[in-house]
Structure 1
Amino acid sequence: MSFNNRILAAFALVISCTLSTSPHVWSQDEIPPQFQKPATISNLSPDELLLSKPETPAQLLQAVIQLTGLGHAASAKPYLDQLLKANPDQETLLKLRDEHGPAAFLSLANNKALQPESVTLLNQMEAAFRAFATDPARINGLINDLSGTPTDRNISIIQLKSAGSIVAPPILKQLSQSEDPTRNDELAFALSQLGKPVVEPLIAALRAPENRIRKIAAEVLGDIADPSAALYLWNPAFSESQEQSVQIAARQALSKILGKDPRNVYELNRHKAQQVLKNAALQFYKNHVDAAEKQKIWVWDSTQQTVVQKELASQEVGLIEGLRLAKEALEMSPDKQDVQTLYLSMVLALEAYQVGWNHPLPEGPGTAFNLALLSGPKAVSQVLALAMKQGHTPSALAALKALGQIGSRNLLYEKLDQHSSVIAALNYPDRRVQFAAATTIMQLDPANTFPGATRVIAILTRALGGAGKQSAIVVDSSIPRGQTMAGLFNELGYETEYTQTGMAGFKDATQRMDVEFIALEHNIMRWGLSQTIANLRADSRTANIPIIIYGPLRLKNKIEYVTRHYPLVQYVVESENTEDIATQVKPFLNSLKTPELTGELRSEYRAAALYWLSHIASSQRGKIYDLTPAEKPLLQLVSDRSLASNALITLGGIPTRTAQADLVTIVTNKTMDNDIKEIAALQLAFHIQKFGLLVDSKEVASIREAYQAATEPRLNTALASVMGTLMPDNKVVGERLQEFKPATPLP
């Protein structure tokens, strides 16, 4: 008995029971009709409703649908379990889909009483249908049907639509291989009927090497008229490298999508194309996100003569798209500096991403780094400025390395805003960039002092010992509140300076150049909040220092709206609790950091920092750089034989009594290796020569004892040079001359 017949039978039973009793006469034991419980479908058990026990997958699904429709979802679930355990194959699932339609599966999946089994069934059905819809043999058969009767063609297009974007590659491949105009028209018409799913593959086809394919792709995109395709039609429409037929097709497509008149040169023109492409590429450069999510992208594969889909990291996809658009913009205006800067930035960014953090860019012919070298210091300096403005650390690192090889000391005195981009990089909120800027400046070898010289030493010194100190500035008109906030930041590990006005905070930030962040109270004076932020962002020395604004919760949305155009700005709700402030501040500051340096890279930084510090100590650059802050970290590195030489040379260039005393300590250390003590002795002699004797008589006596105890010839000679710098008087000289015994006895 069918389901409908069983329902009718149930209704008949109810009606029969109702009519069997007269409406006016009852026996004494009978219950009046208004109190009588009728026999309804809800009184029937699941077995009574089904009449027969389901066994096949089709019967089981029919039972689940019937019972769920009658409100017996709980009774239907065992049959759903049984269906899943039967593990129906794809063919069976497709037959069930044809019989009941996809809506039935979706309805079951949305019923919470049947979950999660109903969701599993929906997923299995969808997987089976995808496999069926995307079967290459089936798709090729449908494409062949496009040449059939109008009915065959219409049926084919309807079924191709159900397969989605996967049908685009075989159609485009046939277009690449076919020289039959009629056949090509059929294929192009089919693509135009498939709509949005084939837009992205067609955009990829705009970059096919063959003009005919690009022309067809442009025409079809115009027919589909999806707004997302407009961006990618500007270059084919106006680039001189495109064939005229492609240009015409692309311009007509653009006019359809944008609703413009292609004959109006003021609406669609080459200049407009260049602007649109440049802005879009810049947006991709700005929106770089270091995330692991995967994203699909369509590209043209010349080997297969069609488009193919690849799955790449979202960040890489953004860089690829941005680079393509930047290149297309460059084709429009190859001599425009801002477009050149953007293209070179995108090239460096993509190559830096591909090699990964903690790895240098590849060098040699055809590499992005060599392209930067060939572009000259002016172009690369602009790349550095753009990279820092947009927070693109890999590009900034590559630009700094290139500038170290091709730049001149004049770069330190150029004025992009108010100071050089290289000097601004010393304060960029990433320690890789800071170190690269410091070593670049050392390579440029400035002959005169410059803003940030003290920052160079601070960065190199920090590389000697690891973390180094972190500094911050608090600006608050209220002294008690400002001091409280400074205390909170001190507890978080920042050496915090407090000032009362925006102008004073700005001045301190530009002079110190070792500030990790600036905290501004929302109601500061002289300057106000907006003026202070604007000035901090306008000066290259402070443009990349993170800004934290603190105030009451009620002002959060308002101030965030006002400051939305400024980079590296965060609003936090003021509190006197260190934990509350840490919860708000640390995620913001941590988001600006790049992956931690590897141990190997830290060692490289330490060795490089020591090299440059020793270079300063042994040259005439002591007038520019103050090496005093490096003294304590240097002493800790002397025991490392690979670092000892440069550490001791640097100590020898620090004009302090404590540095001289450190050298004496090493020279007189009985457990220190002789070769290290030899270098220390030579540097001690140099230090006394250059800065005079700064240690006391007790330390001089210890030097004399070390000299007398030294039996190794090279060490003894080095210590003798120290003894000679102590300016012995005539009596001491006479005694030493008399004590001397020639190596070869006199005859």
Structure 2
Amino acid sequence: MIKLTDMRRQNTALGTFLAVAFLLTPSIYSQSQETTGPQSLETDPVVLAVQGSGPQSPSELLETTEILLNLGRFDLAQQYLDQLLQAKIDDEGLAALQRQFGSVLFYRFLREPQLGPSGIQFAKAVLQAAYRLSHDSARIERLISQLEDPAAEVRQTVITDLQEADTAAIGPLLKVLVDPARTSIHRLAREILRALGKPATDPLLAVLDSRDPAFHRVVIELLGDLGASHAAESLIQLAIDSEVEPSWQQTARQSLRKIVGVIPRHREATLFLRRRIDHYWSGQSPTAPDHENLVRVWHWDRQQQQLTSSKVTTEIAAVSQAARLAQDLQALNPGDLEARQLHLMTHLAASKLVGGLDQPLSKQVIANARSFGLNMSERVLTEALQTNRPAAATAALEVLGQMGQADLLRSASAYPHPVVLALDDRDRNVRFAAAGAIMNIDSQNAYPGSSSLIKTLAHFVGATGGRQALVGFPNAKRAGDLAGSLQLLGFETEVAHTGNNLFQLASRLPDCEIILLSDALARPGASELIQTLRRDARTAEIPVGLMARWDNLAYVQAIAAGDALTLAISELHTPSGAQACVANLLSLRNSPVVSPQKRTQHAQMALSWLTKIVERTADYSFYDVLRWQDSIENAIYKPELSAQASRLLGLLGSPSNQRALVSFASQPTWPLALRQAAADGLRVAVNRRGILLTKREILQQYDRYNDSRELDHSTQAVLGSILDTLETPRQTRLLKKV
């Protein structure tokens, strides 16, 4: 960055140049006329003076650009920017321009639309080159080696360059401080780190959190020197835990005194840490988010001994900090059961959020959870379900699915195990994790709540892979108009004219993202219907837009005030109004909408689990899959699920299942492979349960085959295979008679 004195020097030089330009204008103007001829239309003497100076080097071209920009001649400034772009200046040259002119000029280029794309392109090139060069690890190492230069001017320049490298210099400088062969520059390295100020605190805390013994004492000492108040919470356990290495503890106590002035007693430290954990556990970010509502977090790679950073949501940053402090709390209170539970719950939640809610936990996280014991994971799950912590609940279910034995779900009482209770959780990811845990535990005996598993899997199977919405309106025309507006926004929309009908639709549509509901809907009315939706796990998280008639807005607002996922709105009459309403409704959700791709994956997994249950009926006789056959039959018409659904319907083999398979396989509009899968499913069904079609349905199939003369050979083959399946049992009976 340019210093104030340099800026004054530049401004003085600019003023001198303009003064001289006015004095010399006649001669320059005459020269310009000689060189440009009568074609030149420029008459401004200052501009002519600037052009007549003949800039050649990148520095001269950029200075000329700045002068023309100050004169308001954006057209000419853009020409010089184009020359700079065409010069293809390397990173060293671009960074040198940034050092000479400062960053302000290039940010001005970014904000000035009249410079066109040239201004943006050149400014980005300069700023990015300066950043790359200042953060280049090889360059930083070269600069650090020059700290030993005997010349004071060289050392001062190096110190300035390292400070400009900002957080990129922290890791290399830390390595200097722990290197006994470089003690001659320890003092300078420490001064540079201190000069970086409080922005260096979070990277240093990341090194501290890594528990890297080589850097522990140095980092603790630097944190005390920097004096950032939020570093104190990370030093408390080190300062008062009797199990901490004595030299580290002494340094931590000194640093803590520098920051807060005192060393707390054990009880005070415990209460303080609990308050800070509650603060972060409630969602308060440890640092202020940026304009994208993201927080930069730092990581120390112990193997590579280097710092990296990434941007995460405020939730991830908050829960991760809660987990770190919960670990310190348990270290201070190793025999406290609640501290152990809090440590495991925050650790599992942070691991799941960082790794992704739909991604499996790492082996290291699973092993760490195992060390707490099965009972502690059960306690965590119970607490997470009761306090609505979906990330912790999902992770605990995954752990229990791997740790639990077959008898885990059995109970002496009729009350279901927490894993089974999770099947009725409001959060979709929790319900899916619960189903996965139960299938991994693989209980082959009935257990309390076992019917909920099949209901949950059937609900997942209903996924379409698209976006769905529901409209509840007693007037069919208005309902159709609203559905049309939602369809324009990409929603497949179902319509209901009574409250009961709407709930039935909502409970069997796993892709439903929003509901538009009229306050005039009856049987039941809006207030009772919303309560019913919230009580059912399948519909509890669907936002509702409750539309009020012109004279009923106060009543609708009172209903919405009692439900966080209900929004009181006036009746919608325009597509733009519907679009704004949808955006507002989706913003009410406690968790992001599960993507269509992930919903399809859930449906595919649910079908594979149901297939396993039906294939091993003797082991899972207590499950009633046939009760939910409608959902499976509907799945056959979803291309991503069709082949799996055909296989499952064949294993079930009921009359309704056989009709669905025959009907689908006989429709030539579906892909050949899917029709063949349905025909194969029919063959399985007939082999397992015999022909359960009526005589009329069988005769209809012969008619279909006879009518297929004009169709392609593949379709004829599929229809022929269906008849072969239907005729095989009859031929078998005739052979037995002979």
TM-score of the two chains, using structure 2 as the length reference: 0.64
Q: Distance in 1 between matches of 2:462 and 2:74?
A: 70
Three-state SS of the structure 2 residue aligned to 1:596 is helix
Is 1:548 the equivalent of 2:547?
Answer: no
Q: Distance in 2 between matches of 1:581 and 1:627?
A: 35
- Indicate if the aligned counterparts of 1:435 and 1:459 stay in contact, CA closer than 8 A: no
Q: Provide the residue aligned with 1:343 in structure 2.
A: 347
Is 1:299 the equivalent of 2:299?
Answer: yes
Q: Distance in 1 between matches of 2:314 and 2:217?
A: 30
- Indicate if the aligned counterparts of 1:199 and 1:229 stay in contact, CA closer than 8 A: yes
Q: Distance in 1 between matches of 2:523 and 2:599?
A: 44
Is 1:174 the equivalent of 2:172?
Answer: no
Identify which of 214, 220, 223 aligns with 1:221. Answer: 223
Distance 1:192 1:626, change over 3 A: same
Cα shift at 1:172: 0.3
**64-73 or 626-635, larger mean C-alpha shift:** 626-635
Q: Provide the residue aligned with 1:46 in structure 2.
A: 47
Q: Distance in 1 between matches of 2:198 and 2:541?
A: 44
- Indicate if the aligned counterparts of 1:281 and 1:322 stay in contact, CA closer than 8 A: yes
How many pairs are equivalent? 650
- Indicate if the aligned counterparts of 1:372 and 1:380 stay in contact, CA closer than 8 A: no
Three-state SS of the structure 1 residue aligned to 2:201 is helix
Mapping for residues 187-266 of structure 1, pairs under 5 Å: 187-207=189-209, 209=211, 211=213, 213-227=215-229, 229-230=231-232, 232-237=234-239, 241-247=243-249, 249-250=251-252, 253=255, 260-263=260-263, 265=265
- Indicate if the aligned counterparts of 2:516 and 2:545 stay in contact, CA closer than 8 A: yes
Cα shift at 1:327: 4.2
Q: Distance in 1 between matches of 2:538 and 2:636?
A: 33
Q: Distance in 2 between matches of 1:127 and 1:610?
A: 55
Residue type at the aligned position of 2:686: A
Distance 1:73 1:634, change over 3 A: closer
Q: Distance in 1 between matches of 2:524 and 2:267?
A: 44
Cα shift at 1:171: 1.1
Distance 1:674 1:219, change over 3 A: closer
Cα shift at 1:404: 7.5
Q: Distance in 1 between matches of 2:54 and 2:151?
A: 47
Identify which of 460, 463, 472 aligns with 2:461. Answer: 463
Q: Distance in 1 between matches of 2:141 and 2:725?
A: 90
Q: Provide the residue aligned with 1:734 in structure 2.
A: none
Q: Provide the residue aligned with 1:56 in structure 2.
A: 57
Mapping for residues 84-123 of structure 1, pairs under 5 Å: 84-90=85-91, 92-93=93-94, 96=97, 100-107=101-108, 110-123=111-124
Distance 1:168 1:333, change over 3 A: same
Mapping for residues 262-411 of structure 1, pairs under 5 Å: 262-263=262-263, 265=265, 269-277=269-277, 279-280=279-280, 283=283, 297-304=297-304, 306-309=305-308, 318=317, 324=324, 327-333=327-333, 335-336=337-338, 337-350=341-354, 357=358, 374=374, 378-379=378-379, 381-382=381-382, 385=385, 389-390=389-390, 395=395, 398=398, 401-402=401-402, 407-410=408-411
- Indicate if the aligned counterparts of 1:677 and 1:715 stay in contact, CA closer than 8 A: no
Distance 1:363 1:647, change over 3 A: farther
Q: Distance in 2 between matches of 1:585 and 1:368?
A: 42
Is 1:78 the equivalent of 2:79?
Answer: yes
- Indicate if the aligned counterparts of 2:299 and 2:308 stay in contact, CA closer than 8 A: yes
Residue type at the aligned position of 2:541: I
Mapping for residues 720-735 of structure 1, pairs under 5 Å: none
- Indicate if the aligned counterparts of 1:282 and 1:322 stay in contact, CA closer than 8 A: no
Cα shift at 1:192: 1.6
- Indicate if the aligned counterparts of 1:663 and 1:684 stay in contact, CA closer than 8 A: no
- Indicate if the aligned counterparts of 1:663 and 1:680 stay in contact, CA closer than 8 A: no
Three-state SS of the structure 1 residue aligned to 2:262 is coil
Mapping for residues 301-700 of structure 1, pairs under 5 Å: 301-304=301-304, 306-309=305-308, 318=317, 324=324, 327-333=327-333, 335-336=337-338, 337-350=341-354, 357=358, 374=374, 378-379=378-379, 381-382=381-382, 385=385, 389-390=389-390, 395=395, 398=398, 401-402=401-402, 407-410=408-411, 414=415, 421-425=421-425, 428-429=427-428, 433=432, 436=435, 440=439, 443-444=442-443, 447=446, 450=449, 453=451, 456-457=454-455, 459-460=457-458, 463=461, 493-494=493-494, 496=496, 498-499=498-499, 541=537, 544-551=540-547, 573-575=570-572, 581=578, 584-585=581-582, 591-597=592-598, 604-613=605-614, 621=622, 626=627, 629=630, 647=649, 650-651=652-653, 680=686, 683=689
Cα shift at 1:195: 0.9
Cα shift at 1:169: 1.2
Q: Distance in 1 between matches of 2:542 and 2:645?
A: 35
Cα shift at 1:433: 1.6
Q: Distance in 1 between matches of 2:561 and 2:178?
A: 49
Listed as ranges, the gaps of 5+ residues in structure 1 are: 15-40, 688-694, 703-708, 722-738, 742-747
Q: Distance in 1 between matches of 2:623 and 2:113?
A: 76
Structure 1 residues 57-84: Cα deviation after superposition (integer angstroms, max 9, x where no partner): 3433343334444444434443343343
Residue type at the aligned position of 1:309: T
Q: Distance in 2 between matches of 1:562 and 1:153?
A: 70
Q: Distance in 1 between matches of 2:87 and 2:481?
A: 68
Residue type at the aligned position of 1:262: V
Q: Provide the residue aligned with 1:18 in structure 2.
A: none
Q: Distance in 2 between matches of 1:606 and 1:493?
A: 25
Three-state SS of the structure 1 residue aligned to 2:300 is strand
Three-state SS of the structure 2 residue aligned to 1:575 is coil
- Indicate if the aligned counterparts of 1:345 and 1:395 stay in contact, CA closer than 8 A: yes
Structure 1 residues 393-436: Cα deviation after superposition (integer angstroms, max 9, x where no partner): 9648736845875531439954899x9633414x6446972892
Residue type at the aligned position of 1:463: V
Three-state SS of the structure 2 residue aligned to 1:126 is helix
Distance 1:603 1:719, change over 3 A: farther
TM-score of the two chains, using structure 1 as the length reference: 0.63
Distance 1:447 1:344, change over 3 A: same
Residue type at the aligned position of 2:180: S
- Indicate if the aligned counterparts of 1:297 and 1:312 stay in contact, CA closer than 8 A: yes
Residue type at the aligned position of 2:272: K
- Indicate if the aligned counterparts of 2:398 and 2:437 stay in contact, CA closer than 8 A: no
Distance 1:339 1:605, change over 3 A: same
**675-684 or 238-247, larger mean C-alpha shift:** 675-684
Structure 1 residues 641-695: Cα deviation after superposition (integer angstroms, max 9, x where no partner): 998786456346xxxx8789999999xxxx999997696376359x9xxxxxxx9
Three-state SS of the structure 1 residue aligned to 2:597 is coil
Q: Provide the residue aligned with 2:670 in structure 1.
A: none
**50-59 or 432-441, larger mean C-alpha shift:** 432-441
Structure 1 residues 215-236: Cα deviation after superposition (integer angstroms, max 9, x where no partner): 3323322332335545544554
Q: Distance in 1 between matches of 2:480 and 2:405?
A: 42
Q: Distance in 1 between matches of 2:725 and 2:215?
A: 86
Distance 1:63 1:524, change over 3 A: same
- Indicate if the aligned counterparts of 2:633 and 2:649 stay in contact, CA closer than 8 A: no
- Indicate if the aligned counterparts of 1:230 and 1:254 stay in contact, CA closer than 8 A: yes
- Indicate if the aligned counterparts of 2:423 and 2:456 stay in contact, CA closer than 8 A: no
Q: Distance in 1 between matches of 2:294 and 2:620?
A: 52
Distance 1:471 1:373, change over 3 A: farther
Q: Which has the larger radius of gyration?
A: 1
- Indicate if the aligned counterparts of 2:409 and 2:447 stay in contact, CA closer than 8 A: no
- Indicate if the aligned counterparts of 1:455 and 1:514 stay in contact, CA closer than 8 A: no
Q: Distance in 2 between matches of 1:711 and 1:534?
A: 50
Cα shift at 1:524: 11
Residue type at the aligned position of 1:175: L
- Indicate if the aligned counterparts of 2:461 and 2:603 stay in contact, CA closer than 8 A: yes
Q: Distance in 2 between matches of 1:372 and 1:664?
A: 53
